[in-house]
Structure 1
């Protein structure tokens, strides 16, 4: 069956720390040529799955605000664009902090799923560096970004992504990555893009966004999940920082691992943006 031409407008509609857009050429080059269903349990901004536009996929994230937004883009894109237009017209530092305060003053509980999705995109496009960061109370605490012309209403992209999600078998899950992988079978392809292992002890490193405490023990457990998926006969690819911990955990797959370069902000200073080593680990050649 001939493949459909890919719509170039089907691409991430949010910014995402550690996003994979710049690594797409290497990821695409090393994907298996033929597989059944596709699974991405740490979906984030979705650069990989959106670039492929596959017909049968499962995406997952523990971030309920993010997965709600994917569902709203699929099901209610017209209403979403209307709310985003309101945010765009009112955008200012004062307005940003008013909208951000919804999860502090209880207003968020009165909002519809569409309003929550519009808020999520608005804060993502106008907050500092497009970060998603919450405090211990689960409240977004990213400061205003002061961009001149943020793309708050990217209508063409939103409609293109909506059309793709609506007309393909895309299952959107929320929760633990391991639960999302329960239905993986032989010849399925799994791409794992977890919170990265720290490059060093610098807590402002770009890999420092270890949501829910994704530390060394969690990295070790993910390695066990990788091996278990391998035993099922699935194709598995994992991306992570190229650090001793990761190379030691995946030493059994060293022959099918490659080092790639990515531009990342490796400290809180903007001058710290530089190329750093990342690794793609596969269980296949």
Structure 2
């Protein structure tokens, strides 16, 4: 009997829920799983490591996770209060989005962040170069409040430490006995298919190269295995040529219409000493 999979409480472009089995099959056992790009946390939620170090460069995301880790009941009550029919319209959505962008209160931003995630277009998390959240209204009939998913995350997060640092810093913090799983913003399939603004600043091809070199050093010199997910392109095959590659075909889309989902090639690149 297959184990029940746990969904993340956030909608997330490029989330790994559908790939959990393929990813976990390649992840070695260790005392700690380190994720430099945790995103919505599907791998964290569906693995059984004793400890976790979960990082993301998006401060709103990590702030939200820390609040749920410490104050889940309080957070649930306040965030659920926004999930009412009167807030499911363009006027209210854009007013709350503006309130979020103007706010410097971390708790208030965390409460509104979940609303924006569920009421905004396709669960996108996107900022402009000034750090302004700019995802448009989603036009959903009745956005779902993820109560059971938040409660599960809150319970499991007691095993985790959350950080908001550049991915390079997370590699330098890793120690023997850990394994690293990387789900970076994907390399573009083409020059017209770039989407990498989960946090302001983006993720360049140069950053992709740096990540591959750090993974190679970690896996083969430091004996800390690294598994990376990315698009299957000539570029990624070149930068991951020192890894053991697994090819996948995945439904990938940023669209509200399921009919427009296309299968695209993805790679799992494993750096692990024999």
Structural mapping, 1:67-78, within 5 Å = 67-78=62-73
In structure 2, the gaps of 5 or more residues are none
Shift in Å, 1:210: 4.7
TM-score when scaled to structure 2?
Answer: 0.90
Shift in Å, 1:54: 2.4
The question of 1:131 aligning with 2:120 is answered: no
1:274 corresponds to which residue? 262
Secondary structure, aligned partner of 1:87: coil
Shift in Å, 1:208: 1.9
**Which residue of 241, 247, 257 maps to 2:237?**
247
* 2-structure distance, mates of 1:7, 1:67: 28
1:98 corresponds to which residue? 95
In structure 1, the gaps of 5 or more residues are 1-5
Q: 1:220 to 1:9 in 2, by over 3 A?
A: closer
1:28 corresponds to which residue? 24
Secondary structure, aligned partner of 1:191: strand
The question of 1:141 aligning with 2:114 is answered: no
Which whole-Å deviations, capped at 9, do the CAs of 1:14-64 have from their partners, x for residues lacking one? Answer: 0111111111111111121x3221100100010001111422110000000
C-alpha root-mean-square deviation of aligned residues, in Å? 2.2
Contact persistence 1:19–1:45 (CA under 8 A):
yes
2:59 corresponds to which residue? 64
**Which residue of 139, 154, 162 maps to 2:146?**
154
TM-score when scaled to structure 1?
Answer: 0.87
Shift in Å, 1:143: 0.7
Shift in Å, 1:101: 0.4
Structure 1 residues 124-133 or 22-31, which shifts more? 22-31
Q: 1:213 to 1:159 in 2, by over 3 A?
A: closer
* 2-structure distance, mates of 1:63, 1:257: 28
* 1-structure distance, mates of 2:234, 2:252: 19
Segments of 4+ moved more than 6 angstroms: 266-270
Contact persistence 1:9–1:156 (CA under 8 A):
no
* 2-structure distance, mates of 1:88, 1:239: 34
* 2-structure distance, mates of 1:52, 1:219: 25
Contact persistence 1:60–1:173 (CA under 8 A):
yes
**Which residue of 239, 251, 261 maps to 2:249?**
261
* 1-structure distance, mates of 2:58, 2:176: 28
Shift in Å, 1:269: 8.2
**Which residue of 155, 160, 165 maps to 2:157?**
165
